[in-house]
């Protein structure tokens, strides 16, 4: 007979766990037989002890099997099913770019993404700023769009990894979110339930990263690679820099507009381009769609230059209910803020440090992110024209531009952005955009 409290005791005392009892515990979470108190005790025990890799694999697979697992074989797709996931940051709109790029190179990208968490923007919120775009289609529509367009970016359905949903809700209110074992199982159970052949993971490092230190980011990346591969899904992790906003803008409609500029070739900010290319190249390599990194880069640049990637984006938006002419006329469809004001630099000098987390919080304060899950978002607000680390500014020159719903909100955001930037006499060494690749 399985007793949840005995299982929790074993986790607490760091005793060896077998696959079956992990599966029984997760089954109890899904059915409601395991109480909230028992989930909380389990989460705290894991938080303090962490699980060995084999137990992380077992937990991940049990969470995957707690609900539907998508199977793409029946569709006879003529390419690999691959995806990317990021630990989240500020101005990170790579999903909007690399999904269509990889699809144009012959991959299939069924991307199940999330909403903004804390200071980090959510891919789903960005797509919801497109009028008519349906982030929750039924499974048949999702499958059809993936087959016909090669990419569909939607939200997690209630039937995918439901055990993870319940465990996550308890972790959120019991100060146990930061456990590497449970972050790994949470991310990978959802990705495995999407029926992927391979996953390119993006783990952020720096002032806007979810993990507090470089060492913690490396630990999480290593865990995800080991558990993903252990669960039978080819997984690599790229450590990328989040010590400033990745794109020069942050905020939902602003980032969609930036994505359209990138895909259409109007503007490709250097750091955003480097991270997007690195992750998309990993997806092609994992899916055996390119023979090496140089080949992957050449293929990706070709679909950007020919307009094939932009065309996939347009087709996906239309297939999921958005406007057919979004790429030609973004400004007629995307919300625009009432108050748009520059953020004057308080002094001259070089940008020595950026608190990227504070920039994300400023966007939340404007109404572009949630303080609580029930909040409705203002898609028009955010920041644009953000200047980069190492850049020289004169006093009064803009550090960026605030897009707000009213003058008061704009004033608050201006001082938050000013505080997020440290202006010094010299630039100092710039962090690398890509820190490392783990595979």
Count of residues in the chain: 439
Structure tokens at 80: 């690999």
Radius of gyration of the chain measured on its C-alpha atoms: 22
First to last CA, the chain: 40
Residue 65 bears catalytic tag = no
Q: Rounded to 5 degrees, what are φ and ψ at 421?
A: -100, 130
Cα distance between residue 343 and residue 330, in whole Å:
25
Sign of CA dihedral 412, 358, 384, 135: negative
Candidate list 64, 84, 271, 312, residue with the active-site label: 84
Cα distance between residue 217 and residue 207, in whole Å:
12
Candidate list 56, 60, 66, 83, residue with the active-site label: 83
Candidate list 184, 186, 235, 236, residue with the active-site label: 186
Candidate list 56, 143, 191, 299, residue with the active-site label: 191
Give yes or no for a contact between 390 and 244, defined as CB atoms under 8 angstroms apart. Answer: no
CA atoms within 13 A on the CB side of 262: 30
Sign of CA dihedral 409, 414, 419, 420: positive
Candidate list 30, 87, 94, 123, residue with the active-site label: 123
Residue 297 bears catalytic tag = no
Give yes or no for a contact between 356 and 242, defined as CB atoms under 8 angstroms apart. Answer: yes
Closest by Cα among 217, 252, 278 to 333 = 252
Residue 86 bears catalytic tag = yes
Sign of CA dihedral 56, 117, 214, 13: negative
Residue whose token pair is 């252990």: 230
Residue 190 bears catalytic tag = yes
Structure tokens at 386: 């953000």
Cα distance between residue 364 and residue 121, in whole Å:
9
Residue 171 bears catalytic tag = yes
Residue 223 bears catalytic tag = no
Residue 191 bears catalytic tag = yes
Strands 82-86 and 339-344 turn out to be unpaired
Candidate list 56, 166, 190, 435, residue with the active-site label: 190
What are the residue ranges of helices labelled H in 120-161?
Answer: 123-128, 139-149
Give yes or no for a contact between 85 and 202, defined as CB atoms under 8 angstroms apart. Answer: yes
Cα distance between residue 161 and residue 30, in whole Å:
9
Closest by Cα among 337, 231, 330, 257 to 97 = 257
Cα angle 129-97-78, degrees, rounded to a multiple of 5: 115
SS3 47: helix
Cα angle 275-332-129, degrees, rounded to a multiple of 5: 50
- Give me the active site residues, please: 83-86, 123, 171, 186, 190-191
């Amino acid at each position: 007979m399985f007793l949840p409290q005995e299982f929790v005791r074993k986790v607490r005392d760091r005793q060896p766990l077998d696959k079956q009892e992990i599966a029984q515990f997760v089954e109890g979470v899904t059915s409601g037989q395991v109480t909230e108190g028992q989930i909380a005790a389990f989460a705290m025990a894991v938080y303090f002890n962490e699980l060995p890799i084999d137990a992380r694999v077992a937990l991940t697979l049990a969470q995957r099997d707690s609900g539907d697992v998508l199977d793409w074989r029946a569709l006879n797709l003529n390419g690999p099913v691959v995806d990317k996931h990021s630990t989240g940051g500020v101005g990170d709109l790579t999903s909007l770019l690399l999904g269509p790029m990889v699809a144009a190179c012959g991959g299939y990208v069924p991307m199940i993404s999330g909403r903004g968490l804390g200071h980090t923007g959510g891919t789903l919120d960005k797509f919801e700023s497109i009028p008519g775009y349906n982030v929750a289609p039924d499974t048949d529509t999702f499958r059809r769009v993936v087959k016909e367009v090669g990419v569909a970016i939607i939200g997690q359905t209630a039937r995918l990894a439901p055990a993870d949903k319940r465990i996550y809700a308890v972790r959120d209110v019991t100060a146990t979110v930061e456990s590497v074992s449970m972050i790994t199982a949470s991310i990978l159970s959802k990705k495995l339930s999407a029926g992927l052949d391979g996953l390119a993971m993006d783990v952020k490092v720096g002032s806007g990263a979810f993990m507090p230190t470089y060492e913690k980011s490396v630990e999480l990346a290593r865990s995800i690679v080991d558990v993903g591969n252990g669960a039978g899904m080819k997984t690599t992790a790229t450590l990328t820099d989040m010590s400033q906003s990745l794109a020069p803008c942050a905020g939902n409609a602003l980032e969609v507009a930036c994505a359209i500029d990138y895909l259409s070739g109007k503007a490709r900010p250097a750091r955003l381009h480097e991270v997007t290319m690195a992750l998309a190249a990993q997806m092609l390599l994992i899916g055996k769609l390119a023979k090496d990194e140089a080949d992957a880069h050449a293929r990706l640049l070709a679909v950007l230059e020919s307009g094939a990637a932009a065309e996939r984006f347009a087709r996906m938006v239309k297939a999921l209910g958005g406007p057919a002419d979004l790429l030609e006329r973004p400004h007629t469809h995307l919300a625009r803020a009432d108050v748009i004001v520059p953020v004057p630099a308080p002094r001259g000098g070089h940008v020595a440090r950026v608190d990227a987390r504070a920039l994300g919080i400023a966007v939340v304060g404007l109404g572009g992110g949630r303080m609580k899950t029930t909040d409705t978002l203002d898609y028009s607000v955010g920041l644009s024209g953000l200047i980069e680390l190492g850049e020289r500014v004169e006093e009064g020159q803009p550090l960026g531009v605030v897009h707000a719903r009213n003058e008061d909100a704009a004033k608050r955001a201006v001082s938050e952005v000013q505080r997020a930037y440290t202006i010094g006499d010299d630039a100092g060494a710039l962090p690398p955009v890509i820190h490392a690749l783990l595979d």
